[in-house]
Chain A
Amino acid sequence: MTTKGRRVSRREQHRIGGTGASVTVRNTLIAYAFMLPFLILLVVYHTWPVIFGSYLAFTKYNIISPPQWVGLDNFRELFADEQFWSGLRNSLKYVLVVPVIQVISILVALLVNRPLRGIGFFRTAYYVPVVTSFAVVGLIWSWLYKQGGAVNSVLIGLGLMRGDHSLLDNPATALFAVMFVTLWKGIGYYMVLYLAGLQGISRELEEAATIDGATRSQVFWNITLPGLRPTILVCSLLSTISAIKVFEELYVMTPNGYPAGSTYSALMYSFSKAFGGDFNFGLAAAASMVVAVVSILFGLINFRLTKGGRSDA
C-alpha cells in the first residue's frame, strides 16, 4: 500500500504515481470503470449471500412467497432436531482428520525435500489426487471399497480385517472410510505448502546446529518445527474449516448419510433442507449459520494451539 489516506504533497504525488496518476475526477472514474465488472459480480455472489443468508436464518422462506420474519424459530427447530445434532457431531468428528493430515504432510514434505534423483516425479505423483474432482475421486473410492474390492484385499492380506464386507456399508466404519479419502486427497496439497515453508527456513541455522553437534532429531524439534509454525497454522486452519464444512465427499460416497445416518454432516443437513425437496431455505440458512460459527470457534482454537503462528514463540 503506498498511500495511507493522508494528504500528500505535490512532489510526493509525482514520486508515487507520476503525472498521469494525480487524483482527478477523470482518473477516479477510469479507476472505477476498471473495477466495476469485478465489483458488481463480487457484490452479487459474495457479499449478498453473506448478508441475505444471515437474514434468511430468521425467516420462513420457500422462494415462492416473500420471506416471513420468524425470529429464533428456525434455531429452536434445529436444536430440537436429533438429525441436526448427529450431523454436527459427525462434522466435529471429522476434525480428527486435521492432526493426522498435518503430521503425515509434514513427514512427506521432509521426505520430498531431499535432493534425491527423480524427486520431482514423486512430488507430481502425490499431487495428482489434489487436481482431480471429488466427483471422480469419490466414485473411484466407492468402487475400491466394494465387497471383494481392492481395499478389502489389502486389509485382509495385512490381517487387519476379518470377513469381507464393505467399510462403507458399516455404520461404525463408513465415516472413517470417507475420512481416509479426504486424507488421501489432501496430503499432496498440504505437502506443497509445507515444502514452501521448509524452503523458507534458513539452511545456515540447521547447518550451524549440526556442526555444534546437534543430532538430526534435535535439529528437527528445535529448529525445523518452530520454523514451520506459521505454515502449520495456515494449514491446520484450512483443514479444520474444511473438515467442519465437510460435504462434497460425503455427498458422492455416502449419499443421505448412508448407512443409517452415520455419515450425515451439519452442512449436509442444511443442503437437504434447501434442496432435498421441501425448499426450507430459512432452516437451511440457520443450519449454515451454526456451521459458520462453529468453524470460526475452531479457527480461534487453532490460533491458540499454534501460538498465533509465531515462529519465535
Chain B
Amino acid sequence: MPETTLPQTTLVSDPHAQLAAQLKVQRQRRERLRNAAAYAVLILIALIMLYPFYWTLVTSLEPTGNIYEAKILPTAVSLRNYAEVFSGTTVPFWRLILNSVIICILGVTFTTTLATLAAYPLARMRFPGRDLIFYSILILMVLPNEAGLIVNYITTIKLGLLAQTSPLADAARQYLAVVLPGAASIVGLFLLRQAYLGIPQELIEAARIDGARELTIWRRIMLPLATPTIAAFAILEFVAYWNSFLWARVMLPDKNMLPLSAGLLELSGTFSTNSRAVMAGAVITIIPILIVFLLGQKYFMKGLEGAVKG
C-alpha cells in the first residue's frame, strides 16, 4: 500500500480517504492479533515437544527429592547420577558409548561406500541388465519385509557371526552382525543415483576421452560433485544407526557389545531402583544425536525429502 501524499485537510474532508485509513489500521490490527495467536499456539506446541527432554535433564541433575513430579527448576544440582551411571552398573557405560561410536562409524562408512559405488553404473553407464536390476530393487522396496528380524537372525547365526573363538574376533564379528543388515540402503542408492544424474554428461565424456578409468571418474568427478547428497545421506544413516536398538538387543549374546540405546533399556531393567542414573544415561544418549542434527540440519532435511520423494 503506497502512502497517501494528500495534504491533511483533504484527508479530513474526504470521507473515502478516511475510510481507507481506518480500514488499513483495522487490517494491521487484525494481522497483529493473528500473529500473536499463531505465536501462542507455536509456543504451546514447542513446550509439549521439548518439555519431556527438559524434565529428564533436570531430574537427572537432582540428587534427591520427589523424582517423578512435574518440575521447572531442579531443587539442587549435582553430577552424582552421572557418576553413578559410569561406575555403578554391571555393563560399563563407557563401553556402551564406545560400541555405539564403532557401530556408527562402521555403519555410515559401509552404507555410503556401497551406495555411492552401486549408484554410479545405474546412473551413468550402459550395460545389459541395468533396467532389470533397477526395477527389481524398486520392487524390493515395496515388498513387505515383516519377517526381516526373524530371517536376519537365522542368517546371522548361519554366517557364523555369533561364533565364539577369541574375545577380539568375537567383538569384531558382533559389530559386523549389528551393522550388516542395514548396510545396503535402497533409499541411499536412489538418492545418489538422482545426484549423479544431475552431474553434466560433458564432464564424464571429457574424462573418458582423456582415457580416465571409471573408478577415477567416480572418485574425481562423481564423489566431489555429489558431496551435498552424500553428506545428507551420511547424517540420515548416522541417526538411524545411533538410534537402532531392537536388532542388537534381540541378537547379541554378549551384553558388553550393546550400543547405547539398547544398553539403556538393559540398565532400566537392572537399575529400576535408580531411575535417576538411567535418566543421566538417557541425556548422554540424546546429546550426540542432537549435536549432529543441529549442525547438519540443512543436509538432514534435504536427505529426508529426497528419501520420501525418491
Contacts and interface: CB of A to CB of B under 8 A. Distances in A.
Interface in A219-257: 234, 245, 247-248, 251-252
Given A41-B183, A125-B46, A149-B69, A143 B143 contact: no
Nearest to B122: A35
B150 A284 contact: yes
A133 interface: yes
A34 B118 contact: yes
Contact of B180 (A41, A108, A112): A41
Interface in A102-119: 108, 111-112, 114, 116, 119
B145 A50 contact: yes
Interface string B23-67: 000000000000100110110011011111101100100000010
B186 A46 contact: yes
A129 to B, nearest CB: 6
Nearest to B59: A143
Interface residues of A, number: 98
Contacts of B254: none
A288 B146 CA distance: 5
Interface residues of B, number: 97
A41 B152 contact: no
B11 interface: no
B127 A28 contact: yes
Scoring B134, B279, B286 by chain A CB atoms within 10 A of each residue's CB, the highest score goes to B286
Nearest to B71: A150
21 contacts: A2-B126, A17-B125, A18-B209, A27-B127, A31-B214, A32-B121, A34-B125, A37-B113, A38-B189, A46-B186, A49-B148, A53-B145, A54-B147, A134-B245, A136-B282, A139-B265, A150-B55, A154-B70, A270-B147, A274-B150, A285-B151
Interface of B: 35, 38-39, 41-42, 45-46, 48-53, 55-56, 59, 66, 68-71, 113-115, 117-118, 120-122, 124-128, 130-131, 133-134, 137, 140, 143-155, 157, 180-184, 186, 189, 201, 204-205, 208-209, 214, 218, 239, 242-246, 250, 261-262, 264-265, 268, 275, 278-279, 282, 285-286, 289-290, 293-294, 297, 300-301, 304-305, 308-309
